[in-house]
Chains A and B, each alone.
Chain A
Amino acid sequence: QSVLTQPPSASGTPGQRVTISCSGSSSNIGSNTVNWYQQLPGTAPKILIYSNNQRPSGVPDRFSGSKSGTSASLAISGLQSEDEADYYCAVWDDSLNGVFGGGTKLTVL
C-alpha cells in the first residue's frame, strides 16, 4: 500500500463535479507541494496540477487542486467523457523518496 492514500475509484455523470482526495503525512504532503497526474488508457501520465494548485498551460480550468495540512484534493468540474482515466497524486517525502498515491480510477457514467 502507498504512503499516499487515494480512493481506488470515483464516478460521476457528465457535467457533475467530482473530487479525488489524497491523504498523506507531515513528512510528505505536510511539508512539500503536491502534484496530480492524469493517465489515459495505454498512455503515459500527464501532469494536471503542480505546486498544489497550479495548472500547466493547456490544462483546462475545469481541473483544480488544493491542499490543507496533510491532505490534498483534485476537483474536476463540468465532467466530460474524456476525463475517464486514472488519477495519481505525487509528492516528495522528506525521507528522500518520491511517492505516488495508489491511483483513482475515474468513471464517467
Chain B
Amino acid sequence: EVQLVESGGGLVQPGRSLRLSCAVSGFTFDDYAMHWVRQTPGKGLEWVSGISWNSARIVYADSVKGRFAISRDNAKNSLYLQMNSLRGEDTALYYCARAPAGIAVAVMTFDSWGQGTLVTVSS
C-alpha cells in the first residue's frame, strides 16, 4: 500500500525556520518525482515545490522561491522541505504528493497524497 506520511509541522514565530519531512512506503521512491502542496485553512490549494527523482530538476512557486528548499534522500525514502524566513502567509496544511512514474517534474498530476502536516506562523 502506498503511504506518504508528513511530519515536522508546528507553531513557529515569523522569521524562524522549520523543516518538514515526508516518509514514504509501498513503492520505489526513486522512480517518482515528488511535490509539496499547501492549503490555507478553509481555502484553496497552492503548489509549493517539486523535485525530480534524482534531484536534478527542482522548481519552486514564486511565493517561496529563495526561502524554501526541497530535497530528498532516496536511500531513506524521504522528502523534505526546509522553510526559512517564515511569514504569516505561509500558515497552511502542507501535503507531500507523488507524481506518477515516468512523469516529469513540471506536471501537476499527483496520484498519491499524504494527510498533511500543519504549519502555523504566528508570534
Whether A97 touches B62, Cβ cut-off 8 Å, given contacts A44-B113, A47-B111, A90-B108, is yes
Residues of A within 8 A of B (CB): 2, 32-33, 35, 37, 39, 44-47, 50-51, 56, 88, 90-92, 96-103
Chain B residue, CB-CB nearest to A89: B108
The answer to whether A99 touches B111 (Cβ under 8 A) is no
Label chain A's interface by main secondary structure.
strand
Q: B35: which A residues are within 8 A, CB to CB?
A: 98
Chain A residue, CB-CB nearest to B35: A98
Cβ of B102 to closest chain A Cβ, rounded Å: 12
Most buried by A among B45, B106, B110: B45
Residue from B50, B108, B109, B114 within 8 A of A99 (CB atoms): B108
Q: A103: which B residues are within 8 A, CB to CB?
A: 44-45
Q: What are 10 A-B contacts defined by CB distance under 8 Å? A: A35-B108, A35-B109, A45-B110, A45-B113, A56-B111, A88-B44, A92-B106, A97-B61, A97-B62, A103-B44
Residue from B37, B59, B108 within 8 A of A91 (CB atoms): B108
The answer to whether A98 touches B61 (Cβ under 8 A) is yes
